[in-house]
Structure 1
């Protein structure tokens, strides 16, 4: 049996942002997506460090776009979730959903 890749909360959030953004997944939009959807303001350095870890785990791939004058001739690095990354996100959702089902309703909340 192959070893399972486990994701931390932040890596999972980054992976989900990459999936949500599709072809526009690069540093700034990923950071903005996290702020807008989770109210979590993250530094770009943290985003790129997590993307590097996800790439090492083969959960995302990256490629360089064309250089643009607006970026001083630098190219953007775009990220895309791999099939393995999408499968990992789905397995994580399933595992977390199962765990939540086992928690009794909390006062004033629905589990």
Structure 2
């Protein structure tokens, strides 16, 4: 995966995209990630991360149909690419291998 990078926030957004593959869109990602992190996020941060990851080839986007509920605007849906999945797998393996190196320490719990 050399030449590719994935920041912490991008990784979290990509995980939510993968979990909701083909059904992920900005507001859904914002709500699910905000709920998990227990903090208020900015929709523009989500969109910036998605645009960056689309340029890197980690996600693809497509537009849904025009709806009256959205005033004639279409939702932009995101799905993870095979490169994006490989990046998530690589990140998972890296984090897990480092985590497994932590010695068994008791903190009195």
TM-score norm. by structure 2 comes to: 0.90
1:17–1:30 CA contact under 8 A, matched in 2: yes
Q: Which runs of 5+ in 2 are unaligned?
A: none
**Consecutive aligned runs of 4 or more in structure 1 exceeding 4 Å deviation:** none
Could you say which residue in structure 1 is the equivalent of 2:61? 62
The 2-side partners of 1:103 and 1:44 are apart by 36
Q: Which has the higher contact order (CA 8 A, sep 6+)?
A: 2
Structure-2 residue corresponding to 1:3: 2
Matched pairs, number: 109
CA distance 1:65–1:91, change in 2 (3 Å): same
Deviation at 1:40, TM superposition (A): 3.5
Q: Could you say if the C-alpha distance between residues 57 and 32 of structure 1 is closer, same or farther in structure 2, counting changes exceeding 3 Å? A: same
1:76 is matched with 75
Question: Cα gap change, 1:40/1:20 in structure 2, threshold over 3 Å: closer, same or farther?
Answer: farther
Give the CA deviation at 1:109: 8.3
- 1:1-111 matches, within 5 Å, as 3-105=2-104, 107-108=106-107
Provide the aligned C-alpha RMSD in A: 1.9
Once the two structures are TM-superposed, the CA of residue 23 in structure 1 deviates from its matched residue by: 2.5
d(CA) in 1 for partners of 2:78, 2:108 = 37
More helix by share: 1
Look up the SS of the partner of 1:12 in the other structure. helix
Considering fraction of residues, name the structure with more strand: 2
